[in-house]
A and B are shown apart, each in its own frame.
Chain A
Amino acid sequence: MTTLAILGALARTFAMISLIAIGGVNAVVPAMRHEVVDLLHWMSDATFMQLYAITQITPGPNVVIVSLIGWQMGGMAGLLVATLSMLLPACLLAFVVGRLMSRVAGSKGFKLAQDALVPVAIGLIIAGGLDLAQAAHRGWLTVVISAASMVSILKFGANPIWTLLTSAAVALAAHYSGLVSLA
């Protein structure tokens, strides 16, 4: 494939995935793998999983998986094309819906939609957290860390960064004192 053909394919693939990513980017990671590994044969399963693992330890929105695939395929140009193709369609839609939202704010229909959507949002967050906790489970210490971190937010309103650093420090101390094995 020529560079231009790759950039075109990146744009097409991620613009399409952008618009089916309902519920967030994690929901379409399997679809992304299917496109990139099975259909386009751009990389092996192992390479895709390695890129995914890297984005899991990267802070910020998990949409960076797209930037990384773009970078892998087409350097800086690939990164920009892939990221913009993934962001633009969904962002334009969000922009339009946001405008509509502020126009109808305060109306009866808006109140109804709000009262219905807010619990959906909260339910998806809690369920997402439970899923993440299951994925992060490596024995009792990880359960204690998850529970303590939950309480730190819920009861103390702690800044997330301190909770994160404390958790890492406790795990390192527990691991290197021989209390548990997390490696």
Chain B
Amino acid sequence: MSRISILTRRLPRQAEGERQRISVRTFAEPLAYLLPFFIGLAIFTLFPIINVFLLSFKEDYRMLSGEFSRYGLGNYAFILKDPYFINGLKNTAIYVFTVVPVSTVLALFFAYMLNKKLRLNPLYQTAFFLPMVTSVIAVGLAWKWIFNYDYGVLNFFLSLFNIDPINWLNNPHYGLWAIIIYGIWSYLPFTIILLLSGLQNIDPLYATAARVDGASNFKIFFRITLPLLAPTVGLVLIVNIISASKVFNELFPLFNGKPGVAYNLYTVVYYIYEVFYVKWRLGQAGAAAVILFLIVLVFTMVQLYLQRNWKHY
């Protein structure tokens, strides 16, 4: 009893005291806790951001000496005229706007099915979520084997439907489709998890009430569940668009690190990688990186806007 009274009496006074003196001590302890975090953040995130922006405006930048001729928009002008960068933008856009919608629709369907909580649900969940945790290089290699022209199992399945074998990886026309098919498969787990957790947050009372009124499952899904899930779907779309804009790793297992057999499968990030790491033209790489950032920024703004406006759902 006495202890409780001490507690209640001391606390307000203590809090007041803390508020009154803003001295070195106020900051010393929090700073000590935050120091390791901020050292890492400053060196490997903050400084690089500023540096990349500056770099993107430095013309004729030389990596070894750090010399450059002047600040200007030369790097931006160069890459925006570079057919490989344009190719990268085009492929990235096609990839994003096929993989994200298709995988979201499929994910919606399977999330709905998984939400029925059948007896084998843990088993199904394990199967559906497995691709999420495994290395793109290793799984991409398995896909390369599946896509193989002569002995690939995909062409075998197609042959059962009397479809002629497709040269997925060595015919420049099909390379992008191979990446897209692999992409849809690999985006499913993450998308299903987010949509499933969205579905689980919907009060089942709505559906029950509608069922009492005689609505069919079909009607309940499209008239009640889907509108209630709209904020989650919007969020998932944006997060996946941002993530798919950075498509890059997949090219390494499928095409041995080349942007397709005919060098026609550049992506924005692959372009950054090549200009930076193969050609060592850092100014241009910086400019391409800034453009990637602007793309991500636009979609992040949309995301923030959606989150704000959908909060009261």
A in complex with B:
no
